[in-house]
Amino acid sequence: MSSADRLREIEAEALGRLDAVADLDALAALEAEVVGPGSPVMEARRGLKDVPQEQRKDLGRAINEVKTALEAAIEARRADLAGAAEEARLAGERIDMTLPGRAPARGTRHLVRQVWDEIVDIFMALGYSVADGPEVETAYYNFDALNTPTTHPSRFDSDTLYVEWGDDPEGVLLRTQTSPVQARYMEQHPPPVYIVSPGRTYRRDTTDATHTPVFHQMEGLAVDDAITFADLKGTLEHFANEFFGAGRSVRFQPHFFPFTEPSAEMHASCFACDGSGCRTCSHTGWIELLGCGVVDPNVLAAVGYDPSAVSGFAFGVGIERLAMIRYGIPELRFFFDPDLRVLRQFR
Ligand code: DAH
């Protein structure tokens, strides 16, 4: 067999193997073997000068043709394999846009906060604004400015949590009510005043079904010229209807608070039985909602208002209490226990 024929055989064999090459590494190995420096084609080219003159031309052409054909086939195969590799990479990265997403766990407003926001909204719609006050409060704002004598039992340290601060052991405390915001606000703003003030309050109570040392209240205060108990009634009846649903009637029972005169406890007709008597209202038809009254002139005078020129009404409502009534929650501690099952019921 001539050298040229031998080369054509090698070419045919290499082309056959090319199809079976599976990846770029295997292709590079085959390339080195069939057209690399030690390959038969290159060996033949190197030996060409020793070939007799009359055979040299044919052999030279055969070497070039074989080399060119192999190189072209290898390049074509390389392009195929590179394309396939790219396709495989893209397939691996493919994203299924139709898969449902992974929803992040979402929190929810605590029930206290929901009721807080709801009752604030009811009063905002009436033109009230929201005022804020400190939870660590002075005895002056919590008691004295609110016409509460030093002998009042709510000031006993069996009832109030005092804070060690300064010389007076009973000068600074955790506020027992949101009422001190009344005095703080009026000191800073001339009348008219229409505010609500929701917030946290503290009492020295042992936890039971209806007591916890921390709870929330919302204070309300309206001061203007010629405000009367009738304004209080109309406003709070509207509130009861908004919060518990239309059709509530309200009644007022005489009570005592140091900062109002007269003072009252407001009851609303039971939203569950419409007043005929059921478990929610302990079969009385009525539910005690809040404390209220006409602002005592001493409270107005303490902040520099003229009690002969302006008058007002005030009220204080327990936020957990409203939620317990409306949702039939039996125990106050459910609001403060870290039990997600409770929170999830009020998403
Ligand atoms: N501060 C009272 C309490 O904690 C509630 C209250 C009653 C507030 C009558 C008022 C009010 O503003 O006028 O029991």
- Regarding whether 317 and 181 lie in a shared domain, the answer is yes
Say how far apart CA 264 and CA 292 lie, in whole Å. 5
3-state secondary structure at position 213: coil
179 C-alpha to ligand 1 centroid (Å): 6
Which of 63, 92, 121 delimits the end of a domain? 92
For residue 220, the cross-strand partners are 196, 315
Helix (H, G, I), strand (E, B) or coil at 251: strand
Given this model, what pLDDT does residue 250 score?
Answer: 93
Residue 101 within a domain? no
Which residue lies with its CA nearest to atom 12 of ligand 1?
315
Atom 2 of ligand 1, residue of closest alpha carbon? 316
- The answer on 284 and 255 residing in a single domain is yes
Q: Tell me, yes or no, whether 99 lies in a domain.
A: no
Domain boundary pick from 62, 92, 122: 92
Query: Residues 126, 88: one domain?
Result: no
| Cα separation, 119 vs 289, whole angstroms | 13
Integer Cα distance of 323 and 329 in angstroms:
7
Q: What is the pTM of this model?
A: 0.73
Task: With respect to residue 105, please indicate whether it lies within any of the assigned structural domains.
Answer: no
Q: Which of 267, 292, 295, 300 to mutate to test the pocket of ligand 1 (most atoms within 8 A of CB)?
A: 292
Q: Which residues, judged by CB distance below 6 Å to any ligand atom, belong to the binding site of ligand 1?
A: 177, 179, 219, 257, 259-260, 291-293, 314-316
Amino acid 329 reads I
Phi, psi of 219 (to 5 degrees): -95, 150
Alpha-carbon gap, residue 68 to 73, rounded angstroms = 9
3-state helix, strand, coil in the chain (%, to 5): 45, 20, 35
**Are 29 and 57 in the same domain?**
yes
Dihedral sign, Cα of residue 210, residue 213, residue 214, residue 219: positive
Q: Which residues contact 333 (CB under 8 A, 6 or more apart)?
A: 207, 209, 212
Q: Is the pLDDT of residue 338 over 90?
A: no
pLDDT, tens digit, for every residue of 135-166?
999 999 999 999 999 999 999 999 999 999 99
Check whether residue 80 and residue 124 sit in a common domain: no
**pLDDT at position 243:** 96
Give domain status of residue 27, yes or no. Answer: yes
pLDDT at 56: 87
Compute, in angstroms, the gap from residue 329 CA to the centroid of ligand 1.
23
Q: What is the pLDDT of residues 232-285, one digit of tens each?
A: 999 999 999 999 999 999 999 999 999 999 999 999 999 999 999 998 899 999
Residue 51 DSSP label? S
Q: Tell me whether strands 250-257 and 260-269 are parallel, antiparallel or unpaired.
A: antiparallel
90, 64 contact by CB (below 8 A): no
Q: What letter would DSSP give residue 100? A: P
Atom of ligand 1 nearest to the CA of 217: 4
Same domain, 67 and 168: no
Mean pLDDT, residues 304-318: 98
Backbone angles phi, psi at 198, to 5 degrees: -85, 150
Cα within 13 Å of Cα(267), Cβ side: 15
Predicted confidence (pLDDT) at residue 124 exceeds the cutoff of 80: yes
Whole-number Å distance, alpha carbon 257 to ligand 1 midpoint, is: 7
Q: Measured from the CA of 313, which atom of ligand 1 is nearest?
A: 13
Q: Are residues 77 and 134 in the same domain?
A: no
Shortest-distance atom of ligand 1 to CA 259: 13
The 10s digit of each residue's pLDDT in 220-229 is 999 999 999 9
Structural domain contains residue 104: no
> Is the domain of 171 the same as that of 277?
yes
Task: Note whether 73 and 158 are same-domain residues.
Answer: no
Q: Are 73 and 18 in contact (CB under 8 A)?
A: yes
Do 253 and 147 lie in one domain? The reply is yes
CATH number, domain at 337? 3.30.930.10
Do both 58 and 123 map to the same domain?
no
Q: Looking at the structure, do residues 78 and 156 belong to the same domain, yes or no? A: no
pLDDT in tens, 223-247: 999 999 999 999 999 999 999 999 9
Would you say residue 98 lies in a domain?
no
Mean pLDDT of 166-177: 96
The ligand 1 atom at the shortest distance from the C-alpha of residue 291 is 7
Is 106 part of any domain? no
Q: How far is the CA of 99 from the centre of ligand 1 (A)?
A: 56
301 C-alpha vs ligand 1 centroid, how far in Å? 18
Domain-located, residue 134: yes
* Residue 64 domain boundaries: 3-92
Number of domains present in the structure of the chain: 2
**For residue 1, is pLDDT > 80?**
no
